[in-house]
Amino acid sequence: MSDPILGVKNLSVYYGESQAVKHVNLGFKDKSVTAVIGPSGCGKSTLLRALNRMNDFIPNVRIEGEVKYRNQNIYGKSMDPAEVRRRIGMVFQKPNPFPKTIYKNIIWGPKINGYKFDPDELVEKSLKGAALWKEVKDRLHDSALALSGGQQQRLCIARAIAMSPEVILMDEPCSALDPKSTLSIEELIGEMRKNYCIVIVTHNMQQAGRVSDDTAFFYNGDLIEFGATKKIFTNPDNSQTEDYITGRFG
């Protein structure tokens, strides 16, 4: 086990007057998967988006506390938010490939950021990394929109991987997918775990149990319990956690 590569210190996020994340302290370890669970509206997405400054685009959002990536506060004055997002990638709930070819979807990020790379190589590597290569290698120059939902989501993962980030944030990445596509994404996360720090928000308890090393349970903006997934799922310290996991939530 390694030290957290990404962590939040006393983090609070407000939308106007209402507080969606409340004084949270949490660390995400490198080369491991952390699941974030909790009932709808408890602040999971808000927390996740605070981790790579995606909340910057929402008016009236206010952040207090710190998000530390490799010991630097990503909200620090000298921080370039675009640089933060290059290092900390994101996969969204609904697959959102660009209306371009599969090929161009992959190289777009590295290109605009001025990376030096061999495009063919990068496309192949990223698609392999997202377990999509075999399915699309003969139609790299077709529109990404012609792919199935599950394939589109893996393309979005490939697109994130192409930036060679260290952290990948996933907000309910399977919620718009069928069971088979969900399974393939879960297997993919299992593979990616070797190379990345992954934070995944999910409503699916089995999924959290299957893919994650650690689990954080949120309720109403508070971090209620955080620990090894095994422990959280078999023997949680907090009764609220237990109620939620066993589906007895009121």
Cβ neighbours of residue 126 closer than 8 Å, sequence gap 6 or more: 106, 158, 159, 161, 162
Footprint of Mg ion on 26-45 (CB under 5 A):
45
Number of residues that bind ligand ATP (CB under 6 A): 11
The angle that helices 102-112 and 119-129 make with each other, rounded to 10 degrees, is 110
Of 20, 102, 130, 170, which one interacts with ligand ATP (CB under 6 A)?
Answer: 20
Residue whose token pair is 């409340």? 22
Q: Which two tokens stand for residue 105?
A: 């979807």
Cα angle, residue 20 at apex, residues 73 and 96 outer, rounded to 5°: 75
User: Does residue 38 contact residue 205 with C-beta atoms inside 8 Å?
Assistant: no
Q: Which two tokens stand for residue 52?
A: 């790579």
Of 58, 82, 146, 228, which one interacts with ligand ATP (CB under 6 A)?
Answer: 58
* Residue ranges in contact with other proteins by CB under 8 A: 52, 54, 57, 59, 82-83, 85-86, 89-90, 92, 94, 96-101, 104, 108-109, 112-113, 141-143, 145, 156, 159-160, 163
Would you count residue 43 as binding ligand ATP (CB under 6 A)? yes
Would you count residue 51 as binding ligand ATP (CB under 6 A)? no
Stretch that binds ligand ATP, among 42-50, 108-116, 145-153, 181-189 (CB under 6 A): 42-50
Stretch that binds ligand ATP, among 35-43, 64-72, 138-146, 236-244 (CB under 6 A): 35-43
C-beta closer to other proteins: residue 45 or 241: 45
Q: Which two tokens stand for residue 238?
A: 């907090």
C-beta closer to other proteins: residue 146 or 228: 146
Cβ burial, residue 29 (10 Å; 0-12/13-18/19+): middle
Would you count residue 45 as binding ligand ATP (CB under 6 A)? yes
31 binds, among ligand ATP, other proteins, Mg ion, none (CB under 5 to 8 A by kind): none
Cβ neighbours of residue 22 closer than 8 Å, sequence gap 6 or more: 12, 43, 220, 221, 222
Residue 109, strand partner residues: none
Give the chain's largest Cα–Cα span.
54
Rounded distance between C-alpha atoms, residue 34 and residue 50, angstroms: 16
Side chain identity at 197, as an amino acid letter? C
Of 1, 2, 3, 40, which one interacts with ligand ATP (CB under 6 A)?
Answer: 40
20 binds, among Mg ion, other proteins, ligand ATP, none (CB under 5 to 8 A by kind): ligand ATP
108 binds, among Mg ion, other proteins, ligand ATP, none (CB under 5 to 8 A by kind): other proteins
Site for Mg ion, rule CB under 5 A: 45
Site for ligand ATP, rule CB under 6 A: 15, 20, 38, 40-46, 58
